[in-house]
Amino acid sequence: MPDFNFKEFHIRSINAATDAERAAINQELKAVYASLSEEEKVVFNQQLQQFLVRQYKAIGDEYEALKEGGAFN
């Protein structure tokens, strides 16, 4: 099964210079999804969920570290 590189799309989207560029990156990801078989779509969705959970956890960890360090006081 393929291994999808969501981090690449994420970083490209973060660094996009315009909303139009960000939309084109999102459309590219949608095109990848549309080209997949049903079995690959299941794997894609699982890997996407795992990527998002890791990203949310990283954001939460950074927030807690900043909060504990007094950045929000």
> Per the domain annotation, does 56 fall within a domain?
yes
> Per the domain annotation, does 1 fall within a domain?
no
Q: Find the distance separating the first CA and the last CA of the chain, reported in whole Å.
A: 48
> The domain containing residue 38 runs over which residues?
6-68
Question: Which has more pLDDT, 73 or 15?
Answer: 15
Number of domains in the chain: 1
> Per the domain annotation, does 73 fall within a domain?
no
Within 1-73, where are the H helices?
Answer: 6-14, 19-34, 38-68
pLDDT in tens, 37-68: 999 999 999 999 999 999 999 898 888 888 88
